[in-house]
Amino acid sequence: MSAPDLALPIGARLLHVGPYKTGTTALQAALKHGREELARQGVWVPERGNVVEEPRGAITADPADPARAEWLRLVERVEEAGDRRAVVSSEYLSDADPEAAARIIGELGGDRVHIVITLRPLVKILPSSWSQLSRHRGNPPYEEWLRSTLEGDGSNAPNPMFWHRQRHGELVERWAAAAGGPEGVTVIVVDESDKDRLRHGFEDLLGLTRGTLEFRSSNENRSFTAGEAEFIRQCWEAIAAAGIPHDISRKYFKRGAIAHMKSTRRPERHEPRITTPKWAQERASELSVEAVEHIRRSGVRVLGDLNALHGPAPFEPEPQDSAVAPAAAALAMVRVLQIARDDERARKRAASKAALRRQPAVDQVPTAELLRVVGRRVRRRLTGR
């Protein structure tokens, strides 16, 4: 059964703003697959469009931006929920500044909106975030990325939005202020020692029967192994050195080889994962302690143990062999060749259609030429040649 004391009021709009790498993909898949059952229990989930991507437009106020129009269409669909509870989840909203956060809440219903923020230990987010960035050209080696991100005030981080999303105390404070106070925000701690916390937290807030949301394992958002990430990074270096155009590398390598390898390959258990050096673990733990105290002082509701955000005690990782498994490299290469094959087939089909369009109509061919063609075909049939 759900926990009735946690359930939001009927007609509430639950807005989950991430941030990234906190179980968002699994949650969104569960909401999508369970949409019909949620509807039977009085909870509305948007039915059309990419409701994870559409909220990107919420962050801009520019009416000429197409993304803004997409967001406003989503707002109209949320209004269809009427007096039912409604839920929207998008980690993109963690990018909102204070002004955008207040505008988003106002557009979705003001006092009816309740913000949910999911948090994981920073020490767990670091390798996942770097792994995600591995898909992009120019990602530095892991330890170099860590030093740029963790040393100093973080202003030199290769990804300028990282700390806007992952300074958890400030993130909570920003959305609590936009919501008009701490009572408008719930933090759910994603704790590996309590694997049902995320699922049960959303079920309870939405007034759902426990077990309604089904979290399915998926390769779609898995992190790369150490070998896979290093293989991708070195491929990007080679692509840059060879001067391969961006549109070609994006199509064949990023959206082809990398995406295919990530979604279809299941790494072997013995393949080493990306491990964080001890100095970075210690720094992440220090930052997490500060964030936890910040969140406690904010007064928001917390589901789970905030101390879990400190992460495990720092340890000295074993030396890693970052050599990529041959199967992973082969899978990536096969995908590149498949896309090239499909492109070649498409080119030939287009060329064949163009050639047919260029052929003259029968009534435009001279009679003598038609007789010669018919004669050749008759001779082939009679002689078998």
* Helices 142-150 & 278-298 angle (0-180, nearest 10): 40
User: Using one digit for the tens of pLDDT, what is the confidence trace for 121-131?
Assistant: 999 999 999 99
Q: What is the pLDDT of residue 336?
A: 77
Query: Which fold would CATH assign to domain 13-221+276-318?
Result: Rossmann fold (3.40.50)
Give residue for tokens 């993909």. 25
Could you tell me what percent of the chain has a pLDDT over 70? Answer: 87
Q: What is the pLDDT of residue 9?
A: 97
Q: Count CB neighbours of 281 within 10 A.
A: 22
Is the pLDDT confidence value at 21 over 80?
Answer: yes
Identify the three-state secondary structure at position 187: strand
User: Half-sphere exposure of 92 toward its Cβ, with a 13 Å CA cutoff?
Assistant: 17
Q: What is the pLDDT of residue 153?
A: 77
Is the pLDDT confidence value at 185 over 60?
Answer: yes
User: Using one digit for the tens of pLDDT, what is the confidence trace for 76-98?
Assistant: 999 989 999 999 999 999 999 99
Four-residue CA torsion sign, 45, 47, 51, 55: negative
Is the pLDDT confidence value at 1 over 60?
Answer: no
Identify the three-state secondary structure at position 70: helix
What distance in Å separates the CA atoms of residue 113 and residue 125, rounded to the nearest whole number?
A: 27
Q: What is the pLDDT of residue 200?
A: 96
Confidence of residue 374 (pLDDT cuts 50, 70, 90): low
**Per-residue tokens: 19:** 């941030």
Is the pLDDT confidence value at 362 over 60?
Answer: no
pLDDT averaged over every residue in the chain: 87
Q: What is the pLDDT of residue 347?
A: 83
Considering only 171-185, 284-298, 319-333, which range has the smallest mean pLDDT? Answer: 319-333
Give residue for tokens 């204070």. 98
Is the pLDDT confidence value at 171 over 90?
Answer: yes
Q: What is the pLDDT of residue 49?
A: 58
Give residue for tokens 């393949």. 271
Q: What is the pLDDT of residue 217?
A: 75
Over residues 290-301, the mean pLDDT reads 97
What distance in Å separates the CA atoms of residue 73 and residue 88, rounded to the nearest whole number?
A: 13
What distance in Å separates the CA atoms of residue 303 and residue 97, rounded to the nearest whole number?
A: 25
Over residues 270-298, the mean pLDDT reads 95
Is the pLDDT confidence value at 280 over 70?
Answer: yes
Q: What residues pair up with 119 in beta bridges, in sequence order?
A: 189
One-letter amino acid for residue 58 of the chain: A
What distance in Å separates the CA atoms of residue 364 and residue 358, rounded to the nearest whole number?
A: 12
Q: What is the pLDDT of residue 370?
A: 58
Is the CB of residue 68 less than 8 Å from the CB of residue 57? Answer: yes
What distance in Å separates the CA atoms of residue 327 and residue 265, rounded to the nearest whole number?
A: 9
What distance in Å separates the CA atoms of residue 157 and residue 147, rounded to the nearest whole number?
A: 8
User: Using one digit for the tens of pLDDT, what is the confidence trace for 300-348?
Assistant: 999 999 999 998 889 888 776 666 666 667 667 777 777 877 888 888 8
Is the CB of residue 258 less than 8 Å from the CB of residue 135? Answer: yes
Is the pLDDT confidence value at 73 over 80?
Answer: yes
Q: What is the 3-state secondary structure (H, E, C) of 55-87?
A: HHHHHCCCCCCHHHHHHHHHHHHHHCCCCCEEE
User: Using one digit for the tens of pLDDT, what is the confidence trace for 190-217?
Assistant: 988 888 999 999 999 999 999 999 998 7
For residue 108, with 0-12 CB atoms within 10 Å meaning exposed, 13-18 middle and 19 or more buried, which class applies? buried
The CA-based diameter of the chain, rounded to the nearest angstrom, is: 96
Is the pLDDT confidence value at 290 over 70?
Answer: yes
* Helices 98-108 & 168-178 angle (0-180, nearest 10): 50
Is the CB of residue 110 less than 8 Å from the CB of residue 13? Answer: no
Is the pLDDT confidence value at 265 over 90?
Answer: no
Nearest residue to 116 via CA among 42, 213, 202, 32: 202
What distance in Å separates the CA atoms of residue 163 and residue 155, rounded to the nearest whole number?
A: 9
